Structure 1
Amino acid sequence: MRVGILQTNPIIGDFDYNLRSILTGYEQASKEGAVFVVAAPSSLMGVPIKNLGKNRDFLQLAEVALKHLASRVGSIPLLVDTFCLKENGEVARQLVVLRNGQIQQSYFALQKGIGGLLPDFRLIDPGSTFLLKEGDITPIDLILEMSPTPWFKGVEKERLNSLRKLAGEKACCPVIAPNVVGGADGYVFFGESVVITAEGKIKAIGKAFEEQIIMFDFAAVPSVPENLEGGVCESERLYRALTMGIRDFVHKTGFKKVVLGLSGGIDSAVVAVLAADALGPENVLCVSIPSRYTTRASVEDAKTLASNLGVRLEIIPLEPLYSAWEQTLGPLFVNCKPDITEENVQARLRAVILMSLSNKFGYLLLNTGNKSEIATGYCTLYGDSCGALSVIGDLYKTEVYTFAQWINSQRLVIPESILTKAPSAELRPGQTDQETLPPYESLDSILRLWLEEGFTIDEIVQLGYQREMVLDVTNRVIRAAFKRKQGPPVIRVSWHGLGFASDLPVSQKLNI
């Protein structure tokens, strides 16, 4: 029995585009001899649709699209999922079988599947999903796992293990697990639609981060496919996830070009590389905005990087705006010592410049902050925290350095001086990040333990960290809740993101 899986990259709400993608794949799979065809989960609607799944206008458009899709389907069945309004007025996810121009069967979802983002079609015991049978044949012939699964570090192994267990131990029957590709709202879906035999072996698997029609035959002898990409390291998968996340977010929101501030530091350097690779250097505008505290070396590093990437670089001095601010507010600040006010206004004036370029030329502004800064609030609200998309906001600072070194191992593009100099926001003479924060190796370890692994402060101290340092870090995370609430969407590449830190209340007086 020859089966086709359509691994597509849908756009949320663009039913015309999604219909064309499904129909093109269906027609090709039919020509290649498919007995039935499965569209990856959310191929028609896009994912994640969030509260659009409760919007009646959206649901009506989805119903029209489904009927149009059905009218184009011939004798070879096509399986596709969508959301609908049930007769009792409830919204439900349904899987439908389209054949001979009509909806032949439909099944409603009951609970969440392996991917965890959407309710799944679990029609028997908890170990199974939608059942595709021929007539009334028993026992179960096939399980169809319809859970769109986003990419996180290590998710491939976790997903395959879960599917193997489902096929070989719980149900003792083959499992088909389609998956979409593409980025949307911070999630990046990685594809790798997979077919598992009743013995738990891989029958077929799709490519990662690419659209594809996967054809397989149940009668064929199982073998481990070459495109398992076992030799692909985690850094390369991270690179593919982040570039796809940028490219799809930009294009799916109607933009073509991006702008970002290029400080000469490691974070903006990595984001610039990713943006140039994702969109093409001709679609990236980098802006260096040196202040009276910016070193000449930082400006030169920005120039070298921009030249290496082939992107356009504009150098706009901050001094005229900063001097005007000093003159405007100077009379009110008489006898006041310089403090964080003067530092924050530099970041906010830079944001004014970047947003002005964004508005005037229609460029999407990319945020360059990392997870360590976002977690602890080491950023300026409405300053360097602004932007439409946070590219590396789910990478700790130490991970950014490791990733940058991997980038340079592929091609030498980031100047060595950016990798070796002490990180600094350059908001006052001789400033370094470590004047305010613990060393990033310690900071990131404490953040992981407290935010992701659930360690208590006492348990972290027992591992050898100074209590004063641990308390400083955890209280920074608590106090910075108001900043995280107002930040841009982050491309998620870890299981936890910022974990419970993203859900901390703003109006609280907790001091651990």
Structure 2
Amino acid sequence: MASLNILMAQINTLVGDFEGNTQRVVDIVKRAEAEHSSPVIVFPELTLSGYPPEDLLLRPSIELRVKQSLQTLCAQLKGDAWAVIGYPRTEAGALYNVAGVVHRGEIVAEYRKQRLPNYQVFDEKRYFSTGSGPCVIDIQGVKVGLSICEDIWEAGPTADTAAAGAELLLNLNSSPYHRGKRNERWERVAERARGAGFPIVYVNQVGGQDELVFDGGSFAVTAAGEVAAAAPNFEEGEYWLHYQAQDKAAPFAGLKVFPPLDEMEATWRALVLGVRDYVNKNHFNGVVLGLSGGIDSALTLAVAVDALGPERVEAVMMPFRYTSQMSVEDAAEQSDILGVSHKVISIEPIYEAFMQSLAEEFAGTTPDTTEENLQARCRGVLLMSISNKKGSLVLTTGNKSEMAVGYSTLYGDMAGGFDVLKDVPKTLVFDLCRYRNTLGPCIPQRVIDRPPSAELAPDQKDEDSLPPYDVLDQILEMYVEQDMSAEAIIAAGMDRDQVQRVLRLVDINEYKRRQAPIGVRITKRGFGRDRRYPITSGWRIGD
């Protein structure tokens, strides 16, 4: 009876670290060989380079680095293991996204990715040439086909692999997270398995890479499309499957099906993982953020502490004449609950010094948002100075709703290196705060209950200048994430004046978003890689 011991290597790679990623492969393969005879170890897409390598793929030395890594693998992996590894490969001047099989010190098979995604965060057609034809290799008496990520989202490559005689498909992935993604994967891979009539093993990487978060969740489905085994999300690990070719109904054993996470928990873990990997992979000592006593900075602090631990997080309250005593108290309370370093630095003298220097320029004018923005910029200067001195990353605290409509200050509250909530709508901010409090005391209830305010003017409330957030977020979701026009949004039941105002704000604030720090992507359409609109444009507002 033909059988295979398959290891799903759900690993966290580092983009550009060919030596480190290659050594990870060697170590995992050798551990697998010590546990089972002739194991099959399946790694994620572009394991050796990390994903996405972006314009590193255009560097002249890329071919040499890949060659050196493959030479190392062939020299180190002389045993009976079958290591299925992703890497970029240049042939005849063309670069391919490749899945190769290393066995007994040789590359015994290679598959070139046929479907190159060029939408949302993907732009693989910028770098790779299109592969053609299936790849089927005999492994221990089992005819095994190979495919890579996007190949599984279209029927053609899987059908071609079945026609070439494959009995089992191994699919290598670097599939980023967004809310609801796991169910989408399960449904699509099940559809392919039923259509091709063979089981599929889907291996995905885990970890944060700039704004992208990869959530793992590797799994296997039967030929009938039933999910037979599934690894946990957001956790690195090496997960064994025992495959029996003759058992059509239940070909996989050895790993249970870890159930899908609740959507709120998945979102939380994505934010935490994104922050942790960005800070650690870029070698920051820790993070510092302005803790205002408001809900956005409260949530950002909670994510930071869960990601890094309280000893690597510093919270700075920077009060001004408009800061309420409630804000001062709530910031101190949350810092105490979480055990983080908490400092209070007034911006009053800094603001007055700026105003004195600007007195002649401002003569004859009345106060407006200029003075409000100056407060935010005083705070930005303080945080960036602490960052420079201590080697800490400044976390900004703006949410997606604010970023969409420009409710933020360039070189003020936007000054920093990473925006944890950049893709989190304001209404979801409230939900995440409530969720985090179910895990243990964290965010004072008063912070959640009070009306949101930037506290840059007396008795200021966000809804003085913005629609209610539940309305605003509905409009933004339809316009930003669903690409609906103004008329379509109005037809869906939204107020015409509010729609036209919000859409105008989104369009004219592209210049701000271009200068904003990156942040964790959790939706299908975030600001940044997903949405690239011109700043200078004659496009009619809201089309």
State the alpha-carbon separation in 2 of the partners of residues 42 and 81 from structure 1. Answer: 4
> What is the DSSP-based 3-state SS (H/G/I as helix, E as strand, rest coil) of the residue aligned with 1:349?
helix
1:276 aligned residue (305, 321, 327): 305
Tell whether 2:88 aligns with 1:83: yes
Distance 1:431 1:59, change over 3 A: farther
CA deviation map 1:231-257 (0-9, x unaligned):
731111111111110100111111130
Contact 1:2–1:217 (CA<8 Å) still a contact in 2? yes
Question: Cα offset for 1:132?
Answer: 12
Question: Cα offset for 1:12?
Answer: 0.8
State the alpha-carbon separation in 2 of the partners of residues 241 and 298 from structure 1. Answer: 28
Contact 1:4–1:37 (CA<8 Å) still a contact in 2? yes
- Structure 2 counterpart of 1:41, one-letter code: E
- Partner of 1:15 in structure 2? 18
- Partner of 2:235 in structure 1? 210
> What is the DSSP-based 3-state SS (H/G/I as helix, E as strand, rest coil) of the residue aligned with 2:239?
strand
Tell whether 2:6 aligns with 1:3: yes
- Partner of 2:213 in structure 1? 188
Choose 467-476 or 217-226, whichever is displaced more. 217-226
- Partner of 1:179 in structure 2? 204
- Structure 2 counterpart of 1:188, one-letter code: V
Tell whether 2:152 aligns with 1:127: no
Tell whether 2:168 aligns with 1:165: no
Contact 2:513–2:527 (CA<8 Å) still a contact in 1? no
State the alpha-carbon separation in 1 of the partners of residues 259 and 21 from structure 2. Answer: 31
2:332 aligned residue (260, 282, 303): 303
Contact 2:229–2:257 (CA<8 Å) still a contact in 1? no
- Partner of 2:178 in structure 1? 152
> What is the DSSP-based 3-state SS (H/G/I as helix, E as strand, rest coil) of the residue aligned with 2:107?
strand
Tell whether 2:110 aligns with 1:106: yes
- Partner of 1:199 in structure 2? 224
- Partner of 1:47 in structure 2? 51
Question: Cα offset for 1:492?
Answer: 0.6
> What is the DSSP-based 3-state SS (H/G/I as helix, E as strand, rest coil) of the residue aligned with 1:323?
helix
Choose 112-121 or 368-377, whichever is displaced more. 112-121
Contact 1:113–1:147 (CA<8 Å) still a contact in 2? no
- Partner of 2:373 in structure 1? 344
Contact 1:168–1:198 (CA<8 Å) still a contact in 2? yes
State the alpha-carbon separation in 2 of the partners of residues 445 and 496 from structure 1. Answer: 14
State the alpha-carbon separation in 1 of the partners of residues 394 and 432 from structure 2. Answer: 22
Question: Cα offset for 1:501?
Answer: 8.7
Contact 1:370–1:392 (CA<8 Å) still a contact in 2? yes
State the alpha-carbon separation in 2 of the partners of residues 53 and 143 from structure 1. Answer: 27
Tell whether 2:168 aligns with 1:142: yes
- Partner of 1:430 in structure 2? 459
State the alpha-carbon separation in 1 of the partners of residues 409 and 484 from structure 2. Answer: 28
> What is the DSSP-based 3-state SS (H/G/I as helix, E as strand, rest coil) of the residue aligned with 1:178?
strand
State the alpha-carbon separation in 1 of the partners of residues 50 and 194 from structure 2. Answer: 31
Choose 23-32 or 326-335, whichever is displaced more. 23-32
State the alpha-carbon separation in 2 of the partners of residues 493 and 225 from structure 1. Answer: 31
Q: What RMSD over aligned residues (CA atoms) do the two structures have, in Å?
A: 2.5
- Partner of 2:475 in structure 1? 446
| Runs of at least 5 residues in structure 2 that lack an aligned partner in the other structure | 135-150
> What is the DSSP-based 3-state SS (H/G/I as helix, E as strand, rest coil) of the residue aligned with 2:61?
helix
- Partner of 1:314 in structure 2? 343
2:39 aligned residue (35, 39, 56): 35
2:446 aligned residue (388, 395, 417): 417
- Partner of 2:492 in structure 1? 463
Choose 265-274 or 24-33, whichever is displaced more. 24-33
- Structure 2 counterpart of 1:53, one-letter code: L
Distance 1:189 1:371, change over 3 A: same
State the alpha-carbon separation in 1 of the partners of residues 133 and 186 from structure 2. Answer: 22
Per the normalisation by structure 2, the TM-score is: 0.88
State the alpha-carbon separation in 1 of the partners of residues 438 and 10 from structure 2. Answer: 31
Question: Cα offset for 1:466?
Answer: 2.0
- Structure 2 counterpart of 1:153, one-letter code: R
Contact 2:41–2:83 (CA<8 Å) still a contact in 1? yes
Contact 2:5–2:243 (CA<8 Å) still a contact in 1? yes
Contact 1:185–1:489 (CA<8 Å) still a contact in 2? yes
- Structure 1 counterpart of 2:18, one-letter code: F
Contact 2:229–2:258 (CA<8 Å) still a contact in 1? no
- Partner of 1:355 in structure 2? 384
> What is the DSSP-based 3-state SS (H/G/I as helix, E as strand, rest coil) of the residue aligned with 1:218?
strand
State the alpha-carbon separation in 2 of the partners of residues 8 and 113 from structure 1. Answer: 22
Question: Cα offset for 1:272?
Answer: 0.3
Tell whether 2:95 aligns with 1:69: no
- Partner of 1:25 in structure 2? 28
Question: Cα offset for 1:121?
Answer: 6.6
Distance 1:466 1:335, change over 3 A: same
> What is the DSSP-based 3-state SS (H/G/I as helix, E as strand, rest coil) of the residue aligned with 1:292?
coil
1:502 aligned residue (515, 531, 540): 531
- Structure 2 counterpart of 1:110, one-letter code: Q
Distance 1:122 1:39, change over 3 A: farther
- Structure 1 counterpart of 2:5, one-letter code: R
Question: Cα offset for 1:210?
Answer: 1.1
> What is the DSSP-based 3-state SS (H/G/I as helix, E as strand, rest coil) of the residue aligned with 2:204?
coil
State the alpha-carbon separation in 2 of the partners of residues 374 and 351 from structure 1. Answer: 17
Question: Cα offset for 1:137?
Answer: 10
Choose 77-86 or 367-376, whichever is displaced more. 77-86
- Structure 1 counterpart of 2:212, one-letter code: Y
State the alpha-carbon separation in 2 of the partners of residues 330 and 426 from structure 1. Answer: 23
CA deviation map 1:59-87 (0-9, x unaligned):
42232122112211122221111112212
Question: Cα offset for 1:383?
Answer: 1.1
Question: Cα offset for 1:159?
Answer: 0.3
State the alpha-carbon separation in 2 of the partners of residues 138 and 70 from structure 1. Answer: 27
Question: Cα offset for 1:456?
Answer: 2.5
- Partner of 1:400 in structure 2? 429
Distance 1:224 1:455, change over 3 A: farther
1:248 aligned residue (247, 253, 277): 277
Question: Cα offset for 1:128?
Answer: 5.6
State the alpha-carbon separation in 1 of the partners of residues 392 and 446 from structure 2. Answer: 29
State the alpha-carbon separation in 2 of the partners of residues 95 and 130 from structure 1. Answer: 15
Tell whether 2:394 aligns with 1:390: no
